[in-house]
Amino acid sequence: MARLTAERRNAAAGGLLAVLGAAAGVALYVASDGHSRHDPRHALQQLDLLYLDEPAPGYAQLPLERGRPAVVVFCEEDCPLPDLEDAQVVRSGDEQLARLYALGAGGRTGFALIDRDGDVRYRSYDPAPHEHEAELQTLVDAL
């Protein structure tokens, strides 16, 4: 009987350590810089996921015409834009808007593909989207 009690004590201690470890991990995350960049819309946290199907954040802020696909390039001023057929291509240097797309990480260049209905279908970091016009055109053509 004494052996069973010691085993239960060890199991309880192990469980307590696991719970305390998990609580400490959550506390550290909540206090970290990463938590402040957390986007509560889980789907928008998935980079390089084709066909997201989420309404494009800040769509009304962008100079876009509904009914046509668009590529929004998030970058600093005067970055070169890709030349795409049948798609609107706009540049945004708005860090807050980039964060809504989960692409606002200290000035890194990225892009979002928006379909005719104003839904985000794809987005990714890309340091030079203008150098990947063929790949972007393939994505636009798939819409």
Domain parsing of the chain, residue ranges: 2-36, 42-141
Whether pLDDT at 38 is above 70: no
What pLDDT digit, counting tens, does each position of 83-117 carry? 999 999 999 988 888 888 888 766 788 999 999 99
Q: How far apart are CA 82 and CA 108, in angstroms?
A: 17
Q: How far apart are CA 133 and CA 71, in angstroms?
A: 11
pLDDT band at 63 (very low <50, low <70, confident <90, very high): very high
19: exposed, middle or buried (Cβ count in 10 Å: 0-12, 13-18, 19+): exposed
What pLDDT digit, counting tens, does each position of 119-136 carry? 988 888 888 999 999 999
* Distance from chain centroid for Cα 121: 12
At 50 the three-state DSSP class reads coil
Third-level CATH fold of 42-141: Glutaredoxin (3.40.30)
Angle at 62 between CA 59 and CA 64, to 5 degrees: 85
pLDDT of residue 2: 57
